[in-house]
Amino acid sequence: MVKMRNPPADQGHAVALIIFVLGLGTLLPWNFFITASQYFNQRLTVANVTSNNTSVSATGNEYNYDSWMALLSQLPLLLFTLLNSFLYQWVKERHRVAFSLMAILLLFSVTAALVQVPMEPDTFFSITMATIWFINMFGAVLQGSLFGVVGLLPPRYSTLLMSGQGLAGIFAALAMLLSILSNADKSSAALGYFLTPCVATLATLMCYLLLPHLEFARFYLDRSQRDEAQTSEELLSRAEKALNNNNKELEVDRKSVGKPGQNQERSSVFAVFKKIWLMAACVTCVFAVTLSVFPVVTVRVQTIYKDSAGWDKVFTCVCCFIVFNVMDLAGRSAPSLLHWPSKDSALFPAAVASRTLFVPLLMLCNVENTRLVVVFSHDAAFVAINALFSFSNGYLATLCMAYAPQFVHGADRETAGSLMTFFLILGLALGASLSFLLGRLV
């Protein structure tokens, strides 16, 4: 008779907290660069002197920072997530995660240091875009590796990782709001803003190094113990089913499971993809729709209360970034309470496709210098549309990431997690590419 070891308890929810913090760390780079849109556009403002000695100011919009930032964030994420999906077996996961976090910490430190360095806009733009490229290159390896890790843990930990990613946006938005409201000069406020993710990334690294020392994590991350538990559970489940059918299938089921404790053979990447392709397509669609209008369109929405003291100054930070990230986090957390539609329901891909309606809705808000008719001019209308837009993003994306590993057996869950991360980034890259077109349409 097989003696199955029961999984240990997650004492004090320590592993859950660490996974949540790791999720926060994976999206810090993206969120801190996207939320600092106003800072970067101000640094890219050029003062041109004409022949009659009059000064003409050209805004940083000439550089199209928001669209280029989105695109140069997602291209390295796409390329290196794909590389991580195929090469993860050759480089140990702990080396990939630790080195990526240290590189991100270094690049954030460089960005913070440049706050105090005066530069020509062209030079500053080039250095910023290069930094964004490299920081997201390491972020791709980090994110793909961590989704592979949580694929080995129970399904709720995928939800926790996604929730942590949602908190990263709130973290960055609140940091920006505090820097705007502070009495410090713009340079000091920006320096404090970019030093914040340096501290947070260091904390993320320390949490990751602590993870292997926790018994609950060791149980699931140790492949031999995990396979033994999964094999034993599958054997007992099939044996019970066979007994309900008058024992006719008991011996067949035992042979199909194999010997207790024997490792399941991993399937090829393509074989895993064939099982999870629908979830992969759904997560691609979710993020393609989101990034096509956020932030390139949403950041240009203006308040109608321009005479209100201080509101115009914080409107974009509060109504665009904070509302988006709070509702996105709520959406990412909701699957811990409800999984609807189910993974096999035709309503699921239909719900994903319906999000395309948010693109015209947001484009018809009170966008600055829009070429379109403004249908939703009031601040409350923009907030409501943005809230539903972001909640559906977090909710459906999290369901995709949680459902995908359920379509494969235990030995292939890490591969499924890495592949889903690739298609998540593919959706972001497609959305970033579309943002150039939609940005010009409005």
pLDDT at 229: 53
Whole-model pTM: value is 0.73
State the amino acid at position 107 in one-letter form.
L
pLDDT of residue 327: 94
| Distance between CA atoms of residues 82 and 89, nearest Å | 13
Question: Which residue from 286, 263, 304, 303 is spatially nearest to 412, judged by alpha carbons?
Answer: 263
* Confidence at residue 2, expressed as pLDDT on a 0 to 100 scale: 44
| CA 284 to chain CA mean position, Å | 12
Interval 339-367: pLDDT, tens:
889 888 999 999 999 999 999 999 999 99
* Per CATH, domain 12-49+56-221+265-441 is 1.20.1250.20: yes
DSSP state of 9: P
pLDDT of residue 393: 95
Structure tokens at 133: 């490229």
Per-residue confidence (pLDDT) for residue 434, from 0 to 100: 92
pLDDT at residue 85 in the model: 62
pLDDT of residue 70: 84
Instruction: Render pLDDT for 205-241 as a digit per residue (tens, 0 to 9).
Output: 999 999 888 888 888 877 545 555 555 555 555 545 5
Distance, C-alpha 364 to centroid of its chain: 27
In angstroms, rounded to a whole number, what is the distance separating the alpha carbons of residues 298 and 300? 5
CA atoms of 391 and 396, how far apart (whole Å): 9
Residues of the chain whose pLDDT is less than 70? 1-5, 46-61, 81, 84-89, 91, 223-264, 308-309
Dig out the tokens for 33 from the structure: 């660069």
Q: What is the pLDDT of residue 282?
A: 96
Question: Which residues of the chain form CATH 1.20.1250.20?
Answer: 12-49+56-221+265-441
